[in-house]
Amino acid sequence: MTEKNLTLKIKRQDTPGAAAYWQTFEVPHRPFANIISCLMEIQKSPTTGDGKKVCPVTWDSNCLEEVCGSCTMVINGRVRQACTALVDNLEKPITLEPMSKFPVIRDLQVNRERMFENLKKVKAWVDIDGSHDIGEGPIMTDQDRAKRYVMSECMTCGCCLEACPQFTLDNAFLGAATFNQVRLFNLHPTGEMKKEDRLNAVMGEGGIADCGNAQVCVEVCPKNIPLTESIADIGRQTTWQAIKNIFTK
Amino acid sequence: MMNRKKKIVVIGGGLAGLALAMKFCERNGEVTVVSYQSLKRSHSVCAQGGINAAIDAKNEGDTPEKHFYDTIKGGDFLAHQPLVRDMCYQAPAIIHLMDRMGVAFNRTGEGHLDFRRFGGTLYNRTAFAGATTGQQLVYALDEQVRRHVHDGSAKTLEWHEYLGAVLDSEGICRGAVIHDLRTDEIYTLQADAVVLATGGPGQVYARSTNSVVNTGAAATTAYLQGAKYANGEFIQIHPTAIPGQDKLRLMSESARGEGGRIWVPRDANDKRNPKKIPESERYYFLEERYPLFKNLVPRDVASREIYDIVYNQNLGVSGDPMVYLDLTHKSREFLDNRLGGIMDIYTKFTGVDPRETPMKIFPAVHYSMGGLWTDYGPDNDGLIDHGSPRNQMTSIQGLFAAGEADYQYHGANRLGANSLLSCIYTGLMMARGIMNYTDSLEKSVEDIPSTVFDDTRAHWQNRFNDIKKMDGTENPHKLHHELGDIMLANVLIVRDNKSLDKAVHEINDIETRFKDVKCLDTNDWANPSPSFINQLYCMIHLSKIITKGALMRDEFRGSHYKPDFDLHQPKDFDPHEYIDYLEQKQYGEVSQEKFPADHLTYMKRFEENNEKWLKTTVAQYKDNQPEITYEEVNTSLVTPRPRKYD
């Protein structure tokens, strides 16, 4: 074997309340290895660099091709998907940390339930009459479809929220991913019928007005979703909604 | 009998599970969706190219009947025909439904759904949302289920694992044993029916296009509890994937549907940059060998041809087991609009831009046509009675299966873009039958003694306690990899009985070594190690089903290719000759003059082979081994005949 060893420094935590600690692991450096394949190597030989046998590191992953959104972590200080983080492109030694804006479950696993709860708050769905056969969907231009498609690629991975200075562990800020969903569904001919509900949901505490315009969300999004455009657009839509609310209430 | 709402437990949050959950909620039922991870992350998101429906948007004369025929032929006539026919007839309504839910399907100039080509058909039949169609469909169904959760009719148990069915004294499924992957708690859920929508078993091969969760453990547990497992040996090898260590990433068939061409340099020693190799010095072997279907032959055919080019002709690119998949003749704008998702995947994982340089690809394990044996209730029109409680029920009463976890829709080889369809179709179709099944029960789950639940729970708690005590010398992850190596080396594209027999013995060795596994982590919080060991145990049993089924099936059908039993179809043979032959036989003697002698010999052998092997393989767990028997296939609608794509 001509493989050189690769050093990974990993921030670990046994339980949600416990203190975090760092451990260092050596794994074989193979061509096109990514962070997940390195973590798999640790599972096969869970021994730290100084020879201590430990429990394998735990992490979340599933598709390993950046469409499921599971494997978000902070790699060399930057939040991203671990599956597309090829070690050849990373500075060494590599550091891995769990996201800091979500409660840690264990090691690199965090609890992102808040993101899914937010989808309920803004009713991120199309209210269809039922799944029985009532014919075709609405006509739509391919340009509008393309605009929606880019937004609908959001994997609820959490990168944008980890990077956002406004989003913290204990506040109620909805964040870029959620605002993007409001725009996505407001752009659909049927989804638009519940537009007001969604806009009213992002007008209160933690809503769109709390966005500090740091614009880092768009930089870290692995799917290149135009999040700042979505935020600006939802900002405009809520302004109109607020005015409308004054006259209708 | 019951005054309360009907309640079911659905295991799995992919397309089949979510479609069923939505439909069952609409029918005023109560659903708990159990998922190994957060919803939205299931393996269905990996499907790329599209979903089939014969809507005939391009005025080519496509019909659901043609879709049905292509699917049956693609599956080498091993699928039960009324089910496939019903699925194909439902397909247009399914696409329109998904469109109504807001799936961002690509559209035509007039704003209607656009369609593209896929393998195994000559029609533009595949609706698509860029090259992430599966992801988009999952999101749409997930949103509808979330809406039902919001309204209170559905409940989700994410980060929970299914361990087994709760069976009463009559063997009827009355609930599910669930393992909380965070707290480590093991408990039971009572239900009127349990549905396994748990996907495929790609992890049995360790490296495949499948996701990490696709161990097949849930389906295998059902088999270990007595359910029949059918057609296990039919594993689809997708022709085009990116080789890799942790995963073989799929490059969708839609790349070829949109004009992608497969080729190798004619000269094996040609080391030039592919863009510098002139057209005349390229071997477009699929186009030359299959002038009718060209690059869009079905997957089993394409994978065999690539295997032949690489290993028999020694024409792999630069001597490596790889061929070119070339899209560089298409504009960047076109590729980004219609294939953006896979263009990005290739770029991110190889560092090479496929818009500028031909991709290097090789076949990879992709899909299981086989799965849990399930039943169906045909009607009198060659379709399915959607109210039949038999629909999608496994051989364990009250335990159902849907999606890739069942076996019924793809025969011996699945056509591209039919998997998303079969998943959504089964989920939607089975809801009414389950309602009717629960109505027909003499005893309600409340009448079942609580000891049935307590005992089952205790069994699984003991099992996991025992796993945690395993303190041997074998690392379970290494053992898993070795199991995968055995399967990849012996049970893949080209099969022979010597290798299969060797694999059977090697799997037995793995099983022996499994007893000496070490549980690497014995904590009781968010500890994946015991679960993985249990899954590995299941994968060992599933690999036995696949391998024994393959060893015993002495023929060449669809994805199951044994060269020793190839009937060698004559080059100039026309499948319609076989229909004439059968007709002549039916009315008396077959005229010896009408057919060339080699055709006649071939047809006789084909007929004999079908009599013996046109059967569903059924594996049942007995004495720690799969016991294999065979069942008749419903071929009541289309006469099975030789396949031909050139």
Predicted pLDDT at A1: 43
What is the number of domains present in chain A? 2
- Decide which of B517, B552, B587 is a domain's last residue: B552
- Assign residue B507 the CATH number of its domain: 1.20.58.100
**Predicted confidence (pLDDT) per residue in B29-63, tens digit:** 999 999 999 999 999 999 999 999 999 999 999 99
Residue with structure tokens 């992953």?
A61
Residues A156 and A217 in one domain: yes
Residues A85 and A191 in one domain: no
Question: Is cis: bond before B596, omega within 30 of 0?
Answer: no
Interface of A with B in 29-68 (CB under 8 A): 30, 32-34, 36-37, 40, 43-46, 55-56, 58, 60-68
Question: Looking at the partner chain, which of B100, B182, B249 has a beta carbon nearest the beta carbon of A137?
Answer: B100
Predicted pLDDT at B100: 98
Residues B92 and B180 in one domain: yes
Residues A80 and A26 in one domain: yes
Catalytic residue among B249, B299, B414, B432: B299
For chains A and B, CB pairs below 8 A equal 186
Residues B202 and B260 in one domain: no
Alpha-carbon distance values, B450 to B396, B399, B442, B464 (Å): 20, 19, 18, 21
Cβ-proximal residues to A106 (8 Å cutoff; 6+ apart), any chain: A13, A14, A15, A16, A58, B525, B526
* Arithmetic mean of pLDDT over chain A: 96
Q: Are A176 and A229 in contact (CB under 8 A)?
A: no
Cβ-proximal residues to B460 (8 Å cutoff; 6+ apart), any chain: B163, B164, B177, B179, B186
Residues A14 and A106 in one domain: yes
Chain B partners within 8 Å of A55 (Cβ): 520-521, 523, 527, 529
Predicted pLDDT at A3: 60
Where does the pLDDT of residue B591 fall: very low under 50, low under 70, confident under 90, or very high at 90 and above? Answer: confident
Of B301, B523, B601, which is closest to residue A58 (Cα–Cα)?
A: B523
**Predicted confidence (pLDDT) per residue in B182-207, tens digit:** 999 999 999 999 999 999 999 999 99
Residues B156 and B99 in one domain: yes
CA distance A102 to chain B (A): 15
Does the CB of A22 have a partner CB in chain B at under 8 Å?
no
Q: Is residue B311 part of a domain?
A: yes
Q: Is residue A144 part of a domain?
A: yes
Predicted pLDDT at A184: 98
Give Rg (Cα) of chain A. Answer: 21
Residues A99 and A206 in one domain: no
- Told to judge if B299 belongs to the known catalytic residues of this protein, a careful annotator would answer yes
Q: Is residue A54 part of a domain?
A: yes
CA distance A142 to chain B (A): 5
Cβ-proximal residues to B275 (8 Å cutoff; 6+ apart), any chain: B328, B357, B358
DSSP, residue by residue, B356-397: TS-EEEEEEEEEES-EE-----B-TTSSB-TT-TTTTB-SST
Q: Is residue A16 part of a domain?
A: yes
Predicted pLDDT at B588: 87
Is the pLDDT reported for residue B1 higher than 60? no
DSSP, residue by residue, B82-106: HHHHHHHHHHHHHHHHHHHTT----
Best to test chain A binding among B101, B158, B522 (most A CBs inside 10 Å): B101
What pTM value is reported for the model? 0.97
- Give the integer Cα–Cα distance in Å for B355 and B343: 7
Chain A partners within 8 Å of B106 (Cβ): 142, 145
Does the CB of B116 have a partner CB in chain A at under 8 Å?
no
Predicted pLDDT at A233: 98
Q: Cα angle at B568 between B566 and B569, to 5 degrees?
A: 130
- Decide which of B526, B552, B578 is a domain's last residue: B552
Chain A partners within 8 Å of B41 (Cβ): 62-63, 68-70
Predicted pLDDT at B2: 63
**Predicted confidence (pLDDT) per residue in A34-46, tens digit:** 999 999 999 999 9
Q: Is residue B461 part of a domain?
A: no
Where does the pLDDT of residue B3 fall: very low under 50, low under 70, confident under 90, or very high at 90 and above? Answer: confident
Summarize the confidence of residues B317-337 as an average pLDDT: 96
Summarize the confidence of residues B309-328 as an average pLDDT: 96
Residues B39 and B163 in one domain: yes
Residue A235 — left, alpha, or beta (φ > 0 → left; ψ -120 to 50 → alpha)? alpha
Residues A95 and A151 in one domain: no
Give Rg (Cα) of chain B. Answer: 24
Residues B399 and B474 in one domain: no
Q: Is residue A132 part of a domain?
A: no
Predicted pLDDT at B217: 98
**Predicted confidence (pLDDT) per residue in A124-176, tens digit:** 999 999 999 999 999 999 999 999 999 999 999 999 999 999 999 999 999 99
**Predicted confidence (pLDDT) per residue in B239-263, tens digit:** 999 988 789 999 999 999 999 999 9
Predicted pLDDT at B529: 98
Range of the domain at B602: 567-632
Residues A87 and A122 in one domain: no
Q: According to the 3-state scheme, what is the secondary structure of B187-225?
A: EEEECCEEEECCCCCHHHHCCCCCCCCCCCHHHHHHHHC
Q: Is residue B465 part of a domain?
A: no
ipTM more than 0.90? yes
Question: Looking at the partner chain, which of B45, B337, B528 has a beta carbon nearest the beta carbon of A67?
Answer: B45
Residues A117 and A106 in one domain: no
Residues B448 and B507 in one domain: no
Residues A87 and A119 in one domain: no
Cβ-proximal residues to B106 (8 Å cutoff; 6+ apart), any chain: A142, A145, B113, B114, B127, B128, B129, B130, B337, B338
**Cβ contact (<8 Å) for B22 and A131?**
yes
Range of the domain at A30: 4-110
DSSP, residue by residue, A176-241: HHHHHHHHHHHTSTTGGGGHHHHHHHTSSTTSGGG------HHHH-TT---HHHHHHHHHHHHHHH
Q: Is B500 helix (H, G, I), strand (E, B) or coil?
A: helix
Interface of A with B in 102-141 (CB under 8 A): 105-106, 109, 112-113, 116, 119-120, 123-128, 130-131, 133-141
What is the number of domains present in chain B? 4
Residues A97 and A147 in one domain: no
Is the pLDDT reported for residue A2 higher than 50? no
**Predicted confidence (pLDDT) per residue in B395-437, tens digit:** 999 999 999 999 999 999 999 999 999 999 999 999 999 999 9
**Predicted confidence (pLDDT) per residue in B275-287, tens digit:** 999 999 999 999 9
Residues B354 and B375 in one domain: no
Predicted pLDDT at B63: 98
Residues B517 and B537 in one domain: yes
Q: Is residue A81 part of a domain?
A: yes
**Predicted confidence (pLDDT) per residue in A92-117, tens digit:** 999 999 999 999 999 999 999 999 99
CA distance B34 to chain A (A): 15
Residues A235 and A177 in one domain: yes
Residues A118 and A217 in one domain: yes
Is the pLDDT reported for residue B493 higher than 50? yes
Q: Are A50 and A136 in contact (CB under 8 A)?
A: no
Cβ-proximal residues to A205 (8 Å cutoff; 6+ apart), any chain: A172
Residue B98's closest chain A neighbor by CA?
A137
- Assign residue A195 the CATH number of its domain: 1.10.1060.10
Q: What is the DSSP letter of B310?
A: I
Tokens linked to B641: 């005949």
